[in-house]
């Protein structure tokens, strides 16, 4: 199938890019620059892997989001919190409806390039605190994509039944060099090791039993998930 | 209710802006510059009416669409066809999933500004040839908006049971000066009078029994709708 792949340059979306390249005919790889603190760290890795796989990579500029949206993930926002990625204080890192915006643009580009699907790296570990990762959101959006295009564009989520550790295992088997991916929301020179997404990254490699070649500023013991 | 209003500067969306201003607390008026031939003609009217009503107006730059999307509506696209707005050759003026993209961005801004709804000028005369005007698209998207945000943002379509002539009548009662709106897809100095959207505009004023103060380059007899 001809597909468009969303790839931020993080672990999950780089792994899904390799999976999509194996399974489909990838027409475009899309990264979005929306003014987050870590866009300039992650997007070069999306470009690197696209190039390695011989795929066309486009960076979509959504600079207005940094001005008009509220989130600590953005350059205009507050400091990124440390802690477990399921803590409710991680809510402040949500960029409102970001997945909806990226999927909508990808759908338009899919229709424009005569593609039939949009591939995203959504997995079972995506958290309920992010509303636009929820299953009901994805179902509604998939319906809008299908009915709102001539080609009845499909939303493809090959990793949806895997957790992040399983995604790491799958990516590893596909030959992904995870040292060339970026997770840290703080967007410093190296991964901080303590923000929610660094904690999630560290945990995934441990659970998968894979070496973690990421250079972290600090690696304190991993925090436990919050009490329900 | 606190709302965000989509306003291109066309007849329908200017009328819906006046209706929303009467009914709700309008937090932002949004126009999108996506590289169409007529963006520079229509958006100044959105700004004009926002200013007249004392509302904050934002122009969102989606310049990448002109490069990455295929449509004769775009500056990069082929010539705009003349004829009735329900002819199948009007399909070439569809900008793939444009409504999805605009609604997604508006939803993010709604959540960021603590608004509860997004108002669009969709009406019953919106054509089946545009997939992202269809009811099933709108239903799916509304579900994605509701489930993909903390505030369960609503999609509001106050004109959905009216045709374009009824929208003109409603706008007229609300005090809209329609001479300060733009429809023509060709984006010339004045309305061409013969493209699909000019034909639709001319017809709406006639059916509504309202004076049409638009300056058209040509006003040949209105073409009949295509045979089904």
The pLDDT tens digits of the residues spanning A133-180 come to: 888 999 999 999 999 999 999 999 999 999 999 999 999 999 999 999
Does B132 lie at the interface with A, CB-CB under 8 angstroms?
yes
Q: How confident is the model at residue B173, as a pLDDT? A: 98
Mean of the pLDDT values across residues B30-38? 95
Q: Higher confidence at residue B226 or residue B215? A: B215
- β A117-119/A154-156 pair status: parallel
Do A146 and B140 lie within an 8 Å CB cutoff?
A: yes
Q: Which residues of B touch A58 (CB under 8 A)?
A: 64, 68
Tell the residue number behind the tokens 């005007």, with chain if given: B133
* A131 contacts on B by Cβ (under 8 Å): 147-150
Element (H, E) at A5: strand A2-6
Rounded Cα distance, A204 and A185, in Å: 16
Distance from C-alpha of A120 to C-alpha of A8, rounded to nearest angstrom: 10
Give A18 to chain B, closest Cα distance, Å. Answer: 23
Contact A64/B64, CB-based, under 8 Å?
A: no
List the single residue in A101, A103, A112 with the smallest CB-CB distance to B108: A101
Whole-number Å distance between alpha carbons of A132 and B144: 8
ipTM at complex level: 0.95
A136 phi/psi in degrees, rounded to 5 = -65, -35
Q: Which helix H or strand E contains A20, and what residues bound it? A: helix A11-23
**How does the average pLDDT of chain B come out, rounded?**
94
CA distance A196 to A184: 8
Asked if A137's CB is within 8 angstroms of B112's CB, the reply is: no
Contact A64 B61 (CB under 8 A): yes
- B101–A108 CB contact, under 8 Å: yes
**Contact state of B100 with A111 under an 8 Å Cβ cutoff:** no
Question: Does residue A7 contact residue A16 with C-beta atoms inside 8 Å?
Answer: yes
Contact list in A for residue B101 (CB cut-off 8 A) is: 101, 104-105, 108
Nearest to B137 among A63, A137, A148 (CB): A148
| Residue A154 phi, psi (nearest 5) | -100, 145
Q: Are B37 and B186 in contact (CB under 8 A)?
A: yes
Q: Can you spell out the DSSP letters for B61-85?
A: E-THHHHH---TTBTTS-PPPBS-T
Residue in B with minimal Cα distance to A131:
B148
Chain B residues touching A146 at Cβ < 8 A? 140
- Measured CA to CA, the distance from residue B30 to residue B227 in angstroms comes to 37
Q: Which residues of chain A have pLDDT under 70?
A: 128, 228
The pLDDT tens digits for B72-103 are 999 989 898 898 888 888 888 889 999 999 99
> Do the chains contact at A107 and B98, CB–CB below 8 Å?
no
pLDDT value at position A228?
Answer: 63
Interacting residues of B224 by C-beta distance below 8 A, sequence separation 6+: B84
Query: Percent of chain B beyond pLDDT 90?
Result: 84
pLDDT digits (tens, 9 = 90+) for B123-179: 988 776 788 888 899 999 999 999 999 999 999 999 999 999 999 999 999 999 999
Tokens of A16: 């899904």
Whole-angstrom distance, CA of residue B148 vs CA of residue A93 = 15
- The nearest CA of chain B is from the CA of A70 a distance in Å of 5
- What's the Rg (C-alpha) of chain B? 17
The pTM for the full model equals: 0.96
| C-alpha to C-alpha distance for A88 and A219, rounded to whole angstroms | 22
CA dihedral sign, ordered B15, B18, B21, B24: negative
Average pLDDT for residues B173-201, to the nearest whole number? 96
Tell me whether residues A140 and B150 touch, CB distance under 8 A.
Answer: no
For chain A positions 13-32, those within 8 Å of chain B (CB to CB) are 28
Which B-chain residues 31-60 have CB contacts (< 8 A) with chain A? 58, 60
Chain B CB contacts of A90 under 8 Å are none
User: How does residue B228 score in pLDDT terms, banded at 50, 70 and 90?
Assistant: low
Which of A97, A109, A131 to mutate against chain B (most B CBs within 10 Å)? A97
Domain spanning A2-208: CATH 3.30.750.24: no
Nearest residue in chain A measured CA to CA from B100:
A104
Query: What is d(CA A40, CA A50) in angstroms, rounded to the nearest whole number?
Result: 16
Question: CA-nearest residue of chain B to A153?
Answer: B97
């Amino acid at each position: 199938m001809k597909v468009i792949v969303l790839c931020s340059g993080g672990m999950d979306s780089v792994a899904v890019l390799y999976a999509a390249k194996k399974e489909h005919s990838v027409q475009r790889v899309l990264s979005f620059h929306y003014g987050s603190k870590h866009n300039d760290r992650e997007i070069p890795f999306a470009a690197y892997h696209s190039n390695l796989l011989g795929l066309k990579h486009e960076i979509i500029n959504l600079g207005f989001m940094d001005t008009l949206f509220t989130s600590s993930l953005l350059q205009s926002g507050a400091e990124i919190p440390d802690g477990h990625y399921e803590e409710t204080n991680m809510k402040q890192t949500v960029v409102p409806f970001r997945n909806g915006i990226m999927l909508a643009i990808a759908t338009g580009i899919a229709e424009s390039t005569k593609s039939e699907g949009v591939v995203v790296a959504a997995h079972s570990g995506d958290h309920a605190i992010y509303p636009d990762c929820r299953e009901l959101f994805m179902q509604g959006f998939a319906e809008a994509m299908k009915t709102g295009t001539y080609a009845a564009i499909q939303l493809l989520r090959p990793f949806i039944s895997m957790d992040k550790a399983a995604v790491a295992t799958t990516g590893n088997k596909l030959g992904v060099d995870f040292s060339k991916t970026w997770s840290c929301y703080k967007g410093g020179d190296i991964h901080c090791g303590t923000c929610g997404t660094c904690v999630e990254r560290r945990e995934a490699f441990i659970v998968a039993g894979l070496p973690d070649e990421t250079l972290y500023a600090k690696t304190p013991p991993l925090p436990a998930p919050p009490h329900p």
